[in-house]
Chains A and B, each alone.
Chain A
Amino acid sequence: MTETLTPALGPATGGPPLSRLADDDLELLLLIRHFELTLLQLYGRGELNGTTHTCLGQEYVPVALRPLLGPADFVFSNHRGHGHYLARFGDAHGLLAEIMGREGAVCGGVGGSQHIHRDRYLSTGVQGESLPVAAGVALHLRRTEPGALACVHIGDGTWGEGAVYEALNMAALWDLPLLVVVENNGIAQSTPTAAQMAGTVAGRAAAFGVDHHLVVSADVDEIRTGLAPLVARVREGRPLVVEFVTHRLGPHSKGDDTRPPEAVRAAQENDWYARYAQDHPEHFHRFDGPARALVRGVADEVAARPPSRWSPCA
């Protein structure tokens, strides 16, 4: 079931008018946006250790999925997972403390940006690795908690890994409640998708008899309406690949953006943030300033905390 939508481009930005969102959806979108922008600022000031991968431009993916997933569902996230975590828990303090290695960190500062485990949420940093694990979890859920599912976020680059195909094969073979969310942002680190993927995601899903649904919209309500009946079928044991055609606004990690200016401009023109500000200025401005201030407050508060503590033998 491959659905291809051709977006009608608006005059100033890259899409049709966005639906007016519920307040909590807009708040969550803005929380993720300002969280990620703040991370890049903190890095710029040398206040963070290591690296991070922001989901700027892709925030609407987990926000759209949020009401479609329940507490019994597992979510497997990847290296670009801050939005996934915030959409699940809304816990900016715990996540920033994890990234900064401060007291109150979700995982004691051990996992950092891309290795987080909390309740039924787990992220790990190796591409494709979580798919077979999610298949195992889905197998457990199908047998012991029918109706629950395992959702895995991957990117377009992840399709280079053999683990993806081993897992898709087993998911189809065993009728597993596995939802694979592909955030196809058109670029794997610095490599355009066209230079690393032969064929299509849809074709690869079809090879296993796995349903595929293409989402080109960035409209949270529209995405949900389209996905709700499909996710319900996943719960009955029909695996699904949902491919979001999305845009990575920022660099892969910190300052490593080698894309030509027109590619960055194209991503910016598709940015839900600017589009929503244009389509719903009053609603946008009512929440944008407070979200920015909230994250600034989180950053100040977390930065002042003592370092996290952890014992290697624990």
Chain B
Amino acid sequence: MRVAENLNAALHGLLDDDPTAYVLGEDVLDPYGGAFKVTKGLSTRFPDRVITTPISEGGLTGVAAGLALTGNTAVAEIMFGDFAALAFDQLCNFAAKSVSMYGSRLPLRMIVRCPTGGGRGYGPTHSQSLQKHFVGMPGLALYEMSPFHDNRDVLAAMADRGEPCLFFEDKVLYTRPMGQADPLFRARLDGDLAVVDPVVPELAARPDYVIVTPGGTAHRALEAMRSLLVEEEISGRLLVPSRLYPLDVEALLPHLGEVVLVAEEGTAGGTWGGEVAHLVHQRIWERLRGPVRLVHSAASVIPTAAHLEREVLLTASAIHHAVREALRG
């Protein structure tokens, strides 16, 4: 099953199980079913609770907050995550604040889906990874879709959290298969954390390095791990948390070694990776061979032409090189 199908099934499941659940966004109705077809079939089965909206990202996010405020579970789709910038006020100043600024906790079951990232030639304003702009906002949790986490569970975790959640969905994942496709590695879940190790037990037991990535970057990290293993006999482990913020760093610690990297598609500066590094340094600085190494896309807009886009976006080879440098110290 492809990731988009898994997410689509998860939304069907949510609307099936929760009579107060709504899905709203631009062009989400059948037969179109959303720009990435993730909402396909929903409006046919649940015509009253799947709502197509005007091109009003701030407005539709506010409507979702109003539905959540009155006890519903609201899932809003922002067609391209870049446009979450248009909903920043509703997210930061209303939804995230309302959970706590009225003196007692006011739970909101609210999920804002953000198709994210480049690699599909959509150009500078339809390809960004804006996670870092939302990191560190009390009352707003960030999750990222991954091939290792069943989206039904992730949707349930976000709704049950009782505070607004942004769900970043790397667009490249939609057409990739769920689960682990590379026969050299095996993925397992340790709670919320996906842990991917080589299938050979001796290699899995003593990884030379550990990479932490959000779900959208996992396949590039795995490609780097394969080349490092096959070409250089360097063995690594991949950790993919479902919830990016607030990060459960304690869950990472048992899986970390002396060399740790964070790879993400966003640009450097004020990043999620910086947050991970800070938390890891606080806990296990003395166990590390060097500081946590961060790998990003180039500090650039994301060009449209495929050959130019490839030049700036985070690649498997960039991760490969970063691991080599980290191991050299």
Contact = CB atoms under 8 A, between A and B. Distances in A.
A266 B209 CA distance: 75
A314 interface: yes
Interface string B37-68: 00000000000100101101011111111111
Given A117-B106, A163-B58, A136 B93 contact: no
Contacts of B175: none
B105 interface: yes
B90 A136 contact: no
Interface in A119-177: 122, 124, 126, 129-141, 143-144, 150, 162-163, 166-167, 169-170, 173
A105 interface: yes
Contacts of A115: 97, 101-102
B65 A133 contact: yes
B72 to A, nearest CB: 6
B104 interface: yes
Give the interface residue-count category, chain A: 35 or more
Given A124-B94, A162-B58, A169-B56, A314 B105 contact: yes
Interface string A189-229: 00000000000000000000000000000000000000000
Given A126-B94, A140-B67, A166-B54, A133 B102 contact: no
A130 B325 CA distance: 51
B89 interface: yes
A110 B105 CA distance: 12
Contact of A110 (B51, B54, B103): B103
A137 B69 contact: yes
Interface residues of B, number: 34
B50 to A, nearest CB: 13
B53 A139 contact: no
Nearest to B74: A136
Given A108-B103, A111-B102, A170-B56, 12 more contacts: A107-B102, A115-B101, A122-B98, A124-B94, A129-B62, A132-B63, A136-B66, A137-B69, A139-B51, A140-B66, A173-B54, A312-B100
Interface of A: 105-111, 115-117, 122, 124, 126, 129-141, 143-144, 150, 162-163, 166-167, 169-170, 173, 310, 312, 314
A167 B90 contact: no
A166 B56 contact: yes
B101 A129 contact: no
A105 B102 CA distance: 10
B59 A135 contact: yes
Nearest to B59: A166
Given A137-B69, A139-B63, A166-B54, A110 B89 contact: no
B102 A136 contact: no
A173 B60 CA distance: 13
B54 A136 contact: no
A310 to B, nearest CB: 6
A105 B63 contact: no
B282 interface: no
A163 B62 contact: yes
A-B pairs, top 4 by smallest CB distance, nearest first, are: A136-B66, A132-B62, A166-B59, A108-B103
A163 B89 contact: yes
Interface string B18-36: 0000000000000000000
A124 B48 CA distance: 30
A141 to B, nearest CB: 7
Given A133-B66, A136-B66, A170 B103 contact: no
